[in-house]
A and B are shown apart, each in its own frame.
Chain A
Amino acid sequence: NAGVMQNPRHLVRRRGQEARLRCSPMKGHSHVYWYRQLPEEGLKFMVYLQKENIIDESGMPKERFSAEFPKEGPSILRIQQVVRGDSAAYFCASSPGTGGSFEQFFGPGTRLTVL
């Protein structure tokens, strides 16, 4: 059973371009979470999705950021018109359910650099 897959592992964009980050959860997991980590800081929650539904997007910036988890295919975190402050590591996690007993399994992350 492969772990959580994220691609690309590294992404370089110029200011104003779009960044698309992909996350394939572990097999059998229908809950996906995105977190952002700025250098030398802890992870901060962005969004929680189940298949075709956004459950909690309280950590998402109001503009330029969007996320989806379609019925088929990976979850996508999309950042439009990137700015230098978007440079960070973006981690995806998945779990088989929600509630206190379920561990979240993390992917290796996508490191976004905005030039």
Chain B
Amino acid sequence: SQQGEEDPQALSIQEGENATMNCSYKTSINNLQWYRQNSGRGLVHLILIRSNEREKHSGRLRVTLDTSKKSSSLLITASRAADTASYFCASYGTASKLTFGTGTRLQVTL
């Protein structure tokens, strides 16, 4: 069954603003990963954060992980129109498989 829940389901912001997406998961994890999917396309891996890490940065991306609350957030700073996509979190537990969240559809307008 699908474990992850993401909110918001949809987010619309203007270019230059920051976008924050949240993700919750249900079981113990080894790591948590964030992916981007452009409409009708495959997934692009954005960032991986291990269970013993609390925060990680990659370019304009900042990911936090709170294992006590079983939640993670993805922050995209200074958003661009090209950031328009769906964003998914995926938890990696002991079963060697990724469990994906329901996704956040981000729309960045000019």
Q: Which positions 28-60 of chain A face chain B at CB distance < 8 Å?
A: 31, 33, 35, 41-45, 48, 55-56, 58-59
Partner among A41, A56, A104 whose Cβ is within 8 Å of the Cβ of B95: A56
Partner among B4, B41, B98, B103 whose Cβ is within 8 Å of the Cβ of A104: B98
- Nearest residue, chain A, Cβ from B100: A42
**With A44-B2, A103-B33 given, is the CB distance from A98 to B43 under 8 Å?**
no
Task: Type the 1/0 row for A73-107, where 1 means its CB is closer than 8 Å to any CB of B.
Answer: 00000000000000000010100001111011111
Interface check A25, CB cutoff 8 A: no
B18: shortest Cβ distance to chain A, in Å? 23
Interface check B108, CB cutoff 8 A: no
How many residues of B are in contact with the other chain, CB < 8 A?
27
| Chain A residues near B42 (CB-CB < 8 A) | 91, 106-109
- Nearest residue, chain A, Cβ from B4: A42
| Chain A residues near B48 (CB-CB < 8 A) | 103
| Chain B residues near A105 (CB-CB < 8 A) | 45
Q: Which positions 27-73 of chain B face chain A at CB distance < 8 Å?
A: 30-31, 33, 35, 40-45, 48, 50-51
B4: shortest Cβ distance to chain A, in Å? 7
B52: shortest Cβ distance to chain A, in Å? 10
| Chain A residues near B97 (CB-CB < 8 A) | 33, 45, 48, 56, 59
B residues whose Cβ falls under 8 Å from a Cβ of A: 2, 4, 30-31, 33, 35, 40-45, 48, 50-51, 88, 90, 92, 95-103
8 contacts across the A-B interface (CB closer than 8 A): A35-B98, A42-B4, A43-B43, A45-B99, A48-B97, A59-B97, A99-B30, A99-B96
Q: Which 9 A-B pairs have the closest CB atoms?
A: A100-B30, A42-B100, A108-B42, A106-B43, A43-B100, A45-B97, A98-B96, A100-B31, A42-B102
